[in-house]
Amino acid sequence: MSFLIFLAIIAAIVFWVVSIYNRLVNERNRVKNAFAQIDVQLTRRYDLIPNLVEAVKGYMSHERETLEAVIKARNTAVISLDAAKADPSNAAAIQQLGQAEGALGSILGRLFALSEAYPDLKANENMMQFQEELASTENKVAFARQAFNDSVMSYNNTAENFPNNIIAGMFSFELASFLEIESEEKRDVPEVSFG
């Protein structure tokens, strides 16, 4: 009789460990799925940028340095996206992607600011279309990033809560990182003058 009780306790513990493990796997897969949506939107954005640069090149030929910086930042972001895509729960890869995206956003902002000085470029149909498509894509990236960050929070909560953290540690479930895309505009403190 005591042997059956012992077996029942062992079976209950195994069931408990398996259920926690499966929940952690499900949460990690949700993170990967949410990142796949970011991947789609960022890839679309990266595909638009060379066309945008080509459209402005004729108007801004003496702004060659800025155009080259846009392409370089885009290429860096593509490499970072590929690294993050390999393992969306890898915190370092996600942080690297966030930094690359922040740099790309900053240089694109500079390109659009420079384009304001060219009335013919501002009125160009292709330029207006690219700006509209990029703005639409930026909105989609923001929504996808929010869904990803929500999935990361759920996964991290599951992995950190007791007793799940014991099972997560035993099976090397690392915490995921939020995708934070910082722009220089957000970091700059506005100057306020009173008088």
CATH T-level assignment (fold) for domain 42-182:
de novo design (two linked rop proteins) (1.20.1440)
What is the biggest distance separating any 2 CA atoms in the chain, rounded to whole angstroms? 90
Tens of each residue's pLDDT in the chain, 195 residues: 788 899 999 999 999 999 999 999 999 999 999 999 999 999 999 999 998 888 888 777 777 888 889 999 999 999 999 999 998 988 899 999 999 999 999 998 888 888 887 777 777 777 788 888 988 998 999 999 999 999 999 999 999 999 999 999 999 999 999 998 765 444 444 444 444
pLDDT at 51: 85
In the chain, the N- to C-terminal Cα span, in Å, equals 88
pLDDT at 148: 94
pLDDT at 192: 43
| CA 77 – CA 79 distance, rounded (Å) | 5
């003496």: which residue's tokens? 62
Q: How many CB atoms lie within 10 A of CB 180?
A: 14
CA atoms within 13 A on the CB side of 28: 18
pLDDT at 171: 93
pLDDT at 31: 94
CA 97 to chain centre: 6
pLDDT at 183: 58
Domain parsing of the chain, residue ranges: 42-182
CA 82 to chain centre: 11
Q: Are 173 and 90 in contact (CB under 8 A)?
A: no
